[in-house]
């Protein structure tokens, strides 16, 4: 028996509005270091990207997410096909091959693959979600998830795009956590990851030629810059060092909008994209940064609530994958800006300037709204419901 209909999550919608406002201020200020005839060039383009992203989100939200279950496998295959197309016929740009040129447009398939992977893994895990799996039963399920993840992870890693590859891994791990696999297997996976890191250290110290087949020289330089930013302040650690100086100078209340000396002088490269958190820290201070992090917390909290309120297991796993997608990007971007993690090319979701990542995140949030709008509470749940 139906108790009540679930209404649109207005808290999530208002949170997105505040992130949009934050983005406009930060992009405008962070792009001030670039000499352009139009000082509003990046700001206007960000507004356009947001309008497109909102349109995509509304279209996806209006579509019944349950119908996507039958399309999940073809979409995954399409994503893999596009990644292979990039691998063999992609456009070389900024030292990487990540794009497909279609006339005047450039398509980055790795962004779409993130959403396609969420959908397909949600379908795979759905059949096992109503019961707690034993250790033996968990093994084939986990192996299938890992195999489906390794292929896009590898194709994205060799572009090279370590940041997007790590996001792909984070999506898979978040969905494994959300599933019913045995905790013992989760512990084994964590220790296996730690063993892999240890193996890479061993290769670095003893078989460097083999090591650079896994970690490219420019990625290794970023690790050096992360571990010793002072020692490599003029080279590998330059971005991190300047970002730390800017954030530190912001103190409690910041230096004021458009008044950050590190940002405005151009000493922090890519301040409107990957290092946009340094704009917030320097110009809006600890208070501004804390409010931003709180907005992300609210965003993820509301998605979690929608996941648990869903009476459809496929929808539950979609929300779990979106949580992994957004939370890892937020953590990695902020952590790399303040020196807790190595620098990777991961944008701060819904804040950094750019089209591909923004549209991907809005598409993912459209799926969450679709789950939210079609979830209903029942006094007596049927088989197959949460």
For the entire predicted model, the pTM comes to 0.91
CA dihedral for 251, 247, 295, 306, sign (positive or negative): negative
pLDDT tens digits, one per residue of 296-315: 999 999 999 999 999 899 99
How confident is the model over 2-23, as pLDDT tens digits? 445 557 899 999 999 999 999 9
Could you tell me the pLDDT band of residue 49, with boundaries at 50, 70 and 90? very high
pLDDT at 247: 94
DSSP annotation string for 151-218: HHHHHHHTTT-HHHHHHHHHHHHHHHHHS---HHHHHHHHHHHHHHHHHHHHHHHH-HHHHTTTS-HH
pLDDT score at 1? 41
Q: Which residue has the higher pLDDT, 329 or 228?
A: 329
User: What is the predicted pLDDT for the residue at 123?
Assistant: 94
pLDDT (mean) for 172-182: 87
């Amino acid at each position: 028996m139906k108790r009540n209909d679930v209404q649109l999550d207005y808290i999530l919608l208002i949170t997105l509005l505040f992130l949009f406002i934050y983005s406009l201020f930060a992009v405008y200020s962070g792009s001030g270091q670039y000499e352009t005839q139009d000082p509003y060039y990046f700001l206007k383009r960000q507004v356009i990207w947001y309008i497109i992203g909102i349109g995509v989100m509304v279209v996806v939200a209006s579509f019944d997410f349950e119908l996507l279950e039958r399309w999940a496998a073809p979409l995954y295959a399409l994503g893999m096909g596009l990644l292979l197309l990039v691998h063999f016929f992609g456009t070389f740009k900024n030292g990487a091959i990540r794009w497909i040129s279609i006339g005047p447009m450039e398509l980055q398939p790795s962004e779409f693959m993130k959403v396609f992977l969420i959908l397909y893994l949600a379908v795979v895990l759905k059949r096992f979600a109503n019961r707690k799996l034993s250790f033996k039963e968990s093994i084939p399920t986990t192996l299938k998830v890992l195999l489906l993840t390794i292929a896009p992870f590898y194709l994205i890693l060799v572009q090279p795009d370590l940041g997007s590859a790590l996001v792909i891994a984070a999506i898979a791990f978040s969905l494994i956590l959300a599933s019913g696999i045995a905790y013992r297997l989760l512990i084994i996976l964590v220790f296996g990851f730690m063993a892999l890191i240890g193996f890479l250290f061993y290769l670095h110290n003893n078989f460097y030629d083999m090591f650079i087949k896994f970690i490219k020289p420019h990625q290794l330089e970023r690790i050096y810059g992360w571990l010793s930013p002072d020692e490599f302040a003029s080279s590998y650690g330059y971005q991190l060092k300047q970002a730390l100086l800017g954030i530190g100078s912001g103190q409690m209340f910041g230096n004021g909008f458009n008044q950050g000396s590190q940002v405005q002088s151009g000493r922090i490269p890519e301040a409107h994209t990957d290092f946009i958190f340094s704009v917030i820290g320097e110009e809006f201070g600890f208070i501004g940064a804390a409010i931003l992090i709180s907005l992300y917390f609210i965003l993820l909290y509301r998605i979690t609530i929608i996941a648990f309120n869903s009476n459809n297991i496929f929808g539950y796993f979609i929300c779990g994958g979106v949580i992994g997608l957004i939370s890892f990007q937020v953590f990695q971007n902020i952590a790399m800006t303040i020196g807790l993690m190595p620098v990777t090319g991961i944008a701060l979701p819904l804040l950094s300037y750019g089209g591909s990542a923004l549209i991907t995140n809005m598409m993912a949030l459209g799926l969450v709204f679709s789950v939210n709008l079609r979830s209903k509470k029942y006094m007596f749940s049927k088989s197959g419901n949460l």
